[in-house]
Amino acid sequence: MFLAPRWPLFVCVFLVACGPASPPDENPARFSASRVSADVQRLASDEFQGRAPGTEGEKRVLDFLVGQFEDIGLQPANDGSFLQAVPLVSLTASPDMTLDIEGQDFSARYAMGSQAMLSTKRVQREISLDASEMVFVGYGIVAPEYGWDDYAAADVRGKTVVILVNDPGFATADPALFRGNTMTYYGRWTYKYEEAARQGAAAALIIHETDAAGYGWNVVATGWSGERFDLVRADGNQSRVAVEGWLSGATASEILGAAGLDLESARQMALARDFQAVDLGLTASTRLRNEIKTLDSSNVAGLIVGTKRPGEVIIYMAHWDHLGIKPNLEGDRIFNGAVDNATGTAAIIELARAFAAMEPAPERSILFLAVTGEESGLLGSAWYAEHPLFPLSQTVAALNFDSLITDGATRDITVFGLGSSELEEYLERAAAKQGRVPVNEPTPEKGYFFRSDHFNLAKVGVPVLYAEAGMDNLQHGREWGVARMQDYRRDRYHQAADEYSADWDWGAVLQDLELYFEIGRELAAETTFPNWYEHSEFRARRDQSRSSAD
């Protein structure tokens, strides 16, 4: 993705009650800032070439992770191997393609990079879109539970749909509309393409707006250029729309203007429950030429076998991959992904060390899972969810690390998707021992809960927890912490500038390691299985899964 110690627990016990969060002392028996720092520095070095799947960089990452797991004493989790093969297909589109828009008294050609980004999931060497009629479909949502259908009475088969990002709740901040300012999955760009395919569209173009998307155009331009990956599917992804893409705000405004609309009026139209799709009176054409490769990437899985209930498994997960090398760029071409996600990968290594040294050993098994392909659409975790190494019904929980905070200890802990599952009660107990307070994510409209690997396990019913240090920095306060996060998101997220720094303060990382350790230790000692709360969309899947295990 995409995006966090305290006094150790024994100090709190000695003092009887912990006060406000305090700067962490390093606990040599459990967690070491110097070890974590060294692992992040190594993973984010040029030696690993940006850690893209299917590259020499991946080979070096796998060797490093397997070596670490072996040194710690973990057991291979996949029938004698630490590796779980993940079959991928690589598509590299020719960068000279254009998007051509035609209409009465209007003709425009848009270049890739600054004006639009196009791609395809279909495994074809060449894909053409020829004079496809364009239709504005608002937010492109079909959500019966919200009484919403942007495709009602519209036939978009073979056409190009133009779609707003996010959902109506974000645009209005009305808590009665969808989930208000908290993004639903209907707001995610991945859903927009999925629904467009279900409607039979030939192409789907999403209008980029920084606030609604949660990131700038530079992130789109970087992430959608060069080699892109997907899982190998039996149908070669023919069920997807032929062309998936983004329009910059300026490009979208010009195209809508040619149809007699402006972006703001189009957005207002789309907020009505009785909105009807608008024929733009324009056509779209493009030609994509792909270089295609198939390859096996790998998840890395190491296991501590439980002493009493080895068939019941707790998962700690993080994605090891990043964006690799972008050869067409000037200057630094290696996207090292130090924060995203060398920090998370180093965290599960450090947790593995702690659990391996734990006495008595955990009663339930603990799986340390480093997954591939997160940056290409959560692919490694999707493969694991479809091909789990342990039954999902016996998977107690999954705790995810992605892009940890490297600015020092905090008074709070951010929970993404707050109010979803009973795992939050475990987190509250562990955070209280640290003097920290769980808080909702500061930007729920950005949909971070749907943007990292835990989401794929949630979809198959496994309770998940995605939390990291909050914004209220112990030394500098909340305003400073917010400014630091905004700086990262603006200037380094998915950029070559996401580099390791010797100036980082590991206090928050050590806090989070201790927090996740305490949660896992409590889960491992229990015989019960946490669940989603009753209102969660994932509850029914979990109940079905657990009933099959009884």
pLDDT of amino acid 506? 97
Cα 505 to chain centroid, rounded: 24
Q: How many domains does the chain have?
A: 2
Q: Is 223 inside any structural domain?
A: yes
Domain match, 168 and 260 both: yes
Domain match, 501 and 516 both: yes
Q: Is 392 inside any structural domain?
A: yes
Domain boundary among the residues 292, 320, 353 is at: 292
pLDDT single digits (tens) 291-344:
999 999 999 999 999 999 999 999 999 999 999 998 888 899 999 999 999 999
d(CA 484, CA 405): 10
Domain boundary among the residues 247, 268, 292 is at: 292
Residues in the chain, pLDDT under 70: 1-29, 550
Tokens 């009629």 label which residue?
Answer: 133
CA distances from 60 to 77, 94, 259, 341, 512 (A): 20, 28, 52, 16, 27
Among 277, 43, 326, which Cα is nearest to 159's?
277
Domain match, 231 and 298 both: no
Among 261, 299, 394, which Cα is nearest to 85's?
299
Q: Is 526 inside any structural domain?
A: yes
Domain match, 75 and 111 both: no
pLDDT of amino acid 173? 87
pLDDT of amino acid 226? 86
pLDDT of amino acid 26? 44
Domain boundary among the residues 242, 269, 292 is at: 292
Q: Is 109 inside any structural domain?
A: yes
Q: Give the range of the structural domain holding residue 283, as residue numbers without chain letter.
A: 91-292
Helix, strand, coil: what percent of the chain each, to 5? Answer: 35, 25, 40
459 burial (CB, 10 Å; 0-12 / 13-18 / 19+) is middle
pLDDT of amino acid 5? 34
The count of other CB atoms within 10 Å of the CB of residue 21 is 23
pLDDT of amino acid 243? 98
Q: Is 3 inside any structural domain?
A: no
Q: Is 405 inside any structural domain?
A: yes
pLDDT of amino acid 29? 52
d(CA 514, CA 7): 9
d(CA 66, CA 352): 12
Residues for the chain: how many in total? 550
Domain match, 39 and 115 both: no
Domain match, 55 and 133 both: no
Q: Which amino acid is present at 326?
A: K
Domain match, 520 and 381 both: yes
Domain match, 421 and 392 both: yes
List the Cα angle 505/371/401 in 5-degree steps.
30
E-assigned strand segments in 305-363:
309-319, 324-325, 334-335
Q: Which amino acid is present at 502?
A: A
d(CA 92, CA 372): 18
CATH number of the CATH domain containing 493? 3.40.630.10
The count of other CB atoms within 10 Å of the CB of residue 544 is 11
Domain match, 346 and 495 both: yes
Domain match, 277 and 415 both: no
pLDDT of amino acid 280? 98
Q: Is 71 inside any structural domain?
A: yes
pLDDT of amino acid 327? 87
pLDDT single digits (tens) 23-47:
444 444 589 999 999 999 999 999 9
Residue 217: both structure tokens together? 């155009």
Provide the Cα torsion 7, 399, 538, 383; round to 10°. Answer: 170
CATH number of the CATH domain containing 171? 3.50.30.30
Domain match, 530 and 398 both: yes
Burial call 34-54: b when 16+ CB within 10 Å, e when fewer: eebbebbbbbbbeebbbbbbb
Domain match, 263 and 344 both: no
Q: Is 1 inside any structural domain?
A: no
